Amino acid sequence: MGEADIHDGATNTIETTLQFDPTQMIGIIRRKALIKELADAYHAECLTYCQELLELQKKRDEVSLLHLSYILFAHS
């Protein structure tokens, strides 16, 4: 939004008024869309990493169970 300063000669005060500027509104809408697109991309990437982490945790748990069962049954 554009700003215009209005000078009051009698009291030497400055009032700032906002003026509607459609070109700035278009820029704001475009930036908002770009930010949303970027957020969606980061969200998708985060979900991918979470899925990979879950798979690694499952593999670790399987290996731990195999080692535990080997220890328990090997010494029986």
Mean pLDDT per 10-residue section of the chain, whose length is 76 residues: 53 67 92 98 98 97 87 75
Tokens 């945790």 -> residue: 57
> What distance in Å separates the CA atoms of residue 70 and residue 76, rounded to the nearest whole number?
10
Q: Determine the pLDDT at residue 57.
A: 97
Tokens, residue 9: 């000669």
Largest CA distance in the chain: 101
pTM for the model: 0.55
Q: Determine the pLDDT at residue 45.
A: 98
Cβ proximity of 1 and 28 under 8 Å? no
